[in-house]
Chains A and B, each alone.
Chain A
Amino acid sequence: MNPHPWIPNSTDEYCKVIMEELGIRSIDELFQDIPGKFRIKRDEWDNLEIGFKEPISEYEAWRFIDESLSMNKKLKTIPFLGGGVYPHYVPAVVKHILMRGEFLTSYTPYQAEISVGLMQALFEYQSLMAELLDMDIVNASMYDWGSATGEAFLMSLRVKRGRRKIIIPHTMNPFHRRVAETYLYPHDVSLVEVGVTEKGTVNISELEEKIDGETAAVYLQNPNFLGFIEEYAVEIGEIAHKHGALFIMGVYPISLGLLEAPGKLGADIVVGEGQPLGLYPSFGGPLLGIFAIRNDRKLLRQMPGRLIGLTTTKDGKERAFAMILQTREQHIRREKATSNICTNEALSAIASAVYLSLLGPDGLKKLAETNYYHAHYAEKKLSSLEGVETRIYSGEFFNEFPVRFDHTGREYYEIHRRLLEKGIHGGIYLGNSYPELGESALYAFTEMHTRRDIDLLVEALKDVLNG
């Protein structure tokens, strides 16, 4: 076989040197310990559909990918989709830092002395995120918001040993809920749902009825899945605490430019999606699971994930970093570990550290305001369309809200298809998770949806509804 550019010793000369050292005549001798009946024949392997069977050039590979991706439909605007992953502009600097090979191609910093820069970057992520959330301790990342929620629920069961109930709002992101159900499947735990008021936010008296001494945790998502701001977060946290349960909050970090930090609302654990902070939507991954806690020894001991701590060199002279509390983790504690997580989303965490540094406190506030303005502008415009309902609930929303089309006499699916023909991608259909909302869809607006984009949407919808 020809030498390959990624495999430097794949030349006859080098192979000869190696085989001489090993005293072997054929490479096959190194595989003799694989029992014959398990061996795959050379021909059989060579003819399996794996790539194009033979190595191909980079140009050919690029052409193939390029031609395939040209099958994706080009849209006139970024889709008006949110639901946990949002399109936010990624500053060029973020991508360029991520491209630096010293970060990109490194492993978990097992050797701290030669990886101090990587550890500092991760420590800065933990610290910047702590400021944004107003929480004390943030881990170096989980896979995404959904899995972070699953882990938070499992953690609450360890912290509140013996309790078997977790309360969630009806307006918890249904995808996250599905993930949490999967994580809880092996455990004998019930997820109890609390409904909403006419404001689209948690019904507090229902919560008070349902909570009891069996409750390990109360989860609150803010803004909730339908986009509404949970005005009474503090009260909900107090109710949880009164019954000895943990108060877990799920957040959309961009909203924290305007909304109160969960640390100020009494949260014990905070989870969330870090993707809006400098990561592309990328069809849903890689994302960045945020996981934070209050500084409490009992919580800290049960926290999943990696933690980088600030320390010094042994001589005490220089700042340095270390992976801390590793006795919680799988490589030390094995089956008794707080989680099985090993590879996480470190590079995504660094991306959001760069992003938060670039934006600073003022940039973040402005960004949240622009998101708010765009969504509210859209709401005003959409509500002027005949039969289109944008105020299903009366609560305040941030940058996302449900739109109901029942009175247009059209099914949302049909509206969606017609919009798509015009190059516009509408919101998330809600009928599956929220049948009570009828023919509704959740529309999200960020700084990337400019006034022109929103006007295009409104015009297109008007055409569709009139046509």
Chain B
Amino acid sequence: MRGVCIVVFRQAKWSEPLIFEIGGDGRIGHIVPEPGEEVRRIVDGINIPEKIKRKKPPRLPRVSEVEVVRHYTRLTQMSYGVDNGPVPLGSCTMKYNPRIGFEAAYDPRITWLHPLQDEDTVQGLLKLLYLLQKWLANITGMDKCTLHPAAGAHGELTGMLVTRKYHDLRGQLNVKKEIIVPDSAHGTNPASASMAGFTVVEVPSGSDGNIDVEALKTVVSEKTAGLMITNPSTLGLFEENIAEIEELIHSVDGLLYYDGANLNGIMGYTRPGDMGFDIAHINIHKTFGSPHGGGGPGAGPVCVKDRVVNEDKSIRLGDLLPGYIVEYDEDNDKYYLLGPGKHSIGLLKAFFGNIGPLIWGFTYILMLGAKGLRLVTEQAVLNTNYFASKIRKVKGFSIPYGENRPRKHEVVVSAEKLYEETGVSALDVAKGLLDAGFYAPTIYFPLIVREALMTEFTESETLENIDKYVERLREISETAYTNPEEARKWPINTSVGRIDEVKANHPKTMAPTWRIYLEKTRK
């Protein structure tokens, strides 16, 4: 059925110049349409006030079309994505991105639509978005969704501003000042709470990986505006005390925010809405198969419970959502956009949402359906625990926090022992993985695990590759215990070797653009 073979990997290595260093005078890469004679005659010249006319053309390269294609093709050959092999970055859910999603998202009947087009002209698109809203509400167990936010963190900011507005409308803003986050939280959580004007209060995790409820009790107070957590946590563990936590927070009229980055671990088994969360964001680019594009774009829809906000019950949490919500008028069989309404927090970006990733995610859910999504979760959890079970047996690695508890979407492995005994760190391990043609796990996160290797294979990794990955980690461990110096030379099979980060960050040598580089090297 399967055979483990030795992995040999050499990444392409082109000494590819910068685009600025390619090409020559007079070359062009694209013919731009020009106005015809008649248009020129009628307009009779360009009249821009002298003061505001561009004096010097921008210093852009002059390259032919083929040079552009070759240049960027070579750059792609020195990059690595899910299409190349496993990218088990924990918390990032780097699953296979089904290509049918691209076909849908890049359909010219979508790509050429302007965001301010009349609703009557975009009924087809609105129908898909309407369904997506409904499906996401059902997946999360919430009542109302906005597809407006552009990413997970954008969704978090949305959620925190909704929380703020909720307390504002209840006249409690002068009291409700704090957002509680666990110490295992993703950096965007405290950053989003802080951008929304809240003070961040951290709670520790217990050795079983759950939030320490006793510690939580000491920080929950009248000042608590809300709590942000992800469940399963960034340790890949289901938060077992969620019922108690929910009660505690709601007892002081705080709102529960669900960071949906880890939804891949629970679909079909439980839902944030069932667990008592009031607000949740979803990372379409994690759970629902749209690609990460080297750092974006993504989409971060936010769903809320139909919670009453004010006394006469005329305002609901859903009324606070930002952006435009697709509604359906059954009588006229017509879809239309609503919002942002009177109580909405407004807009977080100029227009509807990130349609490309949203339609990709729509296609993903469409093809899998409820049952397929549960299969996704089951297989992701199986893969995680299979890897956890194997890596446990490799010298130098351990799985701290709730050691014997099953993991969900991911597992955080610690290389602390390896580091203490051999000096080979999580960073070195990561580089050793690159050398075998694998992407590394997320390292040094969550902050509460020493020498962390946060690993998430997702449901789309093959068993063969997980075996090879473990095999490579075993080799790395062996090298560490026999010849640790070797480990510090890794990687050697990638396009370049280890990077000089000090030079990159030093004020004297820092070069965030080509022009600054030229300035500094000329001196």
Contacts and interface: CB of A to CB of B under 8 A. Distances in A.
A176 B350 contact: yes
B81 A55 contact: no
B295 interface: yes
Contacts of B120: 73, 420
Contact of A286 (B20, B82, B357): B357
Contacts of B468: none
Given A85-B351, A342-B152, 7 more contacts: A51-B368, A107-B294, A117-B74, A183-B348, A259-B48, A284-B115, A360-B60
B350 A84 contact: yes
A373 interface: yes
Contacts of A117: 16, 74-79, 495
Given A33-B406, A58-B100, A348 B296 contact: yes
A362 interface: yes
Interface string A40-52: 1010011111111
A363 interface: yes
B3 interface: no
Interface stretch (B247-255, B310-318, B380-388, B475-483): B380-388
A335 B61 CA distance: 40
A13 B464 CA distance: 13
Interface stretch (B187-195, B211-219, B414-422): B187-195
A260 B54 contact: yes
Contacts of B73: 97, 100
A41 B342 CA distance: 38
A114 B80 contact: yes
Nearest to A374: B35
A174 to B, nearest CB: 9
B336 to A, nearest CB: 14
B400 to A, nearest CB: 17
Contacts of B43: 372-373, 376-377, 380
A285 B349 contact: yes
B485 interface: no
Contacts of A103: 75-76, 79, 81, 293-294
B6 interface: no
Leading 9 A-B pairs by shortest Cβ distance: A284-B351, A186-B197, A284-B115, A101-B83, A347-B293, A117-B78, A346-B295, A105-B81, A106-B81
A377 B188 contact: no
Given A178-B347, A309-B504, A50 B356 contact: no
Interface in A220-277: 222, 229-234, 256-261, 264-265
A107 B89 contact: yes
Contacts of B58: 131-132, 134, 256, 261, 361, 364
Interface string A384-408: 0000000000001000000000000
Contacts of A234: 51
Interface string A1-30: 100101111100111011101100001011
A112 B69 CA distance: 23
B511 A70 contact: no
A105 B292 contact: yes
B463 A179 contact: no
Interface in A55-105: 55-58, 61-62, 64-65, 68-73, 75, 78-79, 81, 83-85, 87, 89, 91, 93, 95-105
Nearest to B437: A114
Nearest to A8: B462
Contacts of A333: 187, 191
B341 interface: no
B268 A45 contact: yes
Contacts of B28: 360, 362-363
A364 B195 contact: no
Contact of A22 (B59, B379, B385): B385
A286 B153 contact: no
Contact of A105 (B97, B295, B445): B97
Contacts of B87: 105-107
B119 to A, nearest CB: 10
B76 A102 contact: yes
Interface string B454-498: 000001111100000000000000000000000000010011111
B296 to A, nearest CB: 4
A49 B138 contact: yes
A350 B382 contact: no
A334 to B, nearest CB: 4
Nearest to B292: A107
A274 B243 CA distance: 46
Given A65-B363, A100-B73, A285-B297, A425 B118 contact: yes
Contact of B238 (A21, A34, A73): A34
Nearest to B388: A22
B509 interface: yes
B270 A309 contact: no
Given A8-B463, A55-B372, A106-B292, A358 B68 contact: yes
A365 B94 CA distance: 41
Contacts of B352: 283-285
A47 B138 CA distance: 10
17 contacts: A4-B375, A33-B405, A53-B369, A65-B366, A106-B82, A113-B497, A114-B495, A117-B77, A126-B512, A128-B60, A131-B58, A286-B354, A311-B503, A341-B153, A357-B19, A357-B71, A396-B49
Contacts of B285: 343
B284 to A, nearest CB: 10
A313 interface: yes
A425 B500 CA distance: 54
A325 to B, nearest CB: 7
A298 interface: no
A55 B11 contact: no
A333 B188 CA distance: 10
Nearest to A33: B238
B347 A182 contact: yes
B401 interface: no
B84 A51 contact: no
B125 A72 contact: yes
A118 B83 CA distance: 14
Contact of A147 (B141, B349, B386, B443): B349
A230 B52 contact: yes
A353 interface: yes
Nearest to B356: A286
Contacts of B397: none
B318 to A, nearest CB: 17
Given A50-B139, A396-B48, A314 B499 contact: yes
A22 B349 contact: no
Interface in A294-317: 295, 297, 306-316
Nearest to B69: A93
A282 B355 contact: yes
A259 B56 CA distance: 10
A53 B97 CA distance: 20
B39 interface: yes
A198 interface: no
Interface in B1-50: 1, 11, 15-16, 18-20, 27-36, 38-40, 42-43, 46-49
Contacts of A334: 187, 190-191, 200
A46 B370 contact: yes
Contacts of B27: 360
Contacts of A310: 504, 511-512, 514, 517
Given A1-B371, A21-B390, A346-B293, A147 B270 contact: no
B104 interface: yes
Given A55-B371, A117-B78, A283-B115, A9 B151 contact: no
Contacts of A214: none
Interface string A137-169: 110110111110010001000000000000000
Contact of B294 (A54, A144, A342, A350): A350
Given A9-B463, A49-B134, A363 B35 contact: no
B118 A370 contact: no
A203 interface: no
Of A30, A68, A93, A450, most buried by chain B (CB within 10 Å of CB) is A30
